[in-house]
């Protein structure tokens, strides 16, 4: 799946679907439904509808890649994902946990874009 357009959060966009294992389209349909639920801000996973840790990691990874491609600094990406309060408290912490977490999110997103997303379809 490829998004064509500007900022999909606020501007109209088009989705270009790529089905590389036709006729096994069921797994792709499941992914499209998950994407639509994310876009509609529907909560995923869990009995109470909370996001799973895995879903949050995937979301953060893709957000980090999108923002980094716009030349955002990692600290700004962390603010977007985690909020100003947490970044103000944790960014200068000597153990650099939040910095490392943000960088890992970005690297995970790059892996997903380079084909790692296929593991989600299984």
- Tokens read off for 2: 């490829």
Position 17 scores a pLDDT of 66
| Distance in angstroms (rounded) separating the CA atoms of residues 117 and 122 | 10
Residue-wise pLDDT tens digits, 27-64: 767 777 777 776 666 555 544 456 678 888 888 999 99
pLDDT of residue 11: 63
Mean pLDDT across 110-117: 84
Of 55, 65, 54, nearest in space to 107 by CA: 65
Which residue ranges make up each domain of the chain?
Answer: 1-42, 51-122
Q: What is the rounded distance in angstroms from the CA atom of residue 26 to the CA atom of residue 6?
A: 28
Q: pTM score, two decimals?
A: 0.58
Q: Provide Rg for the chain, Cα atoms.
A: 16
Which is higher by pLDDT, 68 or 2? 68
**Are the C-beta atoms of 68 and 106 separated by less than 8 Å?**
yes
């Amino acid at each position: 799946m490829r998004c064509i357009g500007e900022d999909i959060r606020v501007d109209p966009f088009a989705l270009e679907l790529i089905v590389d294992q036709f006729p096994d389209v069921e797994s792709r349909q499941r992914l499209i439904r998950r994407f639509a639920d994310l876009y509609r801000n529907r909560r995923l996973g869990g009995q109470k509808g909370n996001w799973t840790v895995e879903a949050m990691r995937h979301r953060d990874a893709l957000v980090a890649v999108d923002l980094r491609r716009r030349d955002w600094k990692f600290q700004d990406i962390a603010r977007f994902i985690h909020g100003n309060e947490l970044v103000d408290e944790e960014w200068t912490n000597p153990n650099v946990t939040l910095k490392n977490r943000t960088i890992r999110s970005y690297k995970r997103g790059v892996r997903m874009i380079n084909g790692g997303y296929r593991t989600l379809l299984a």
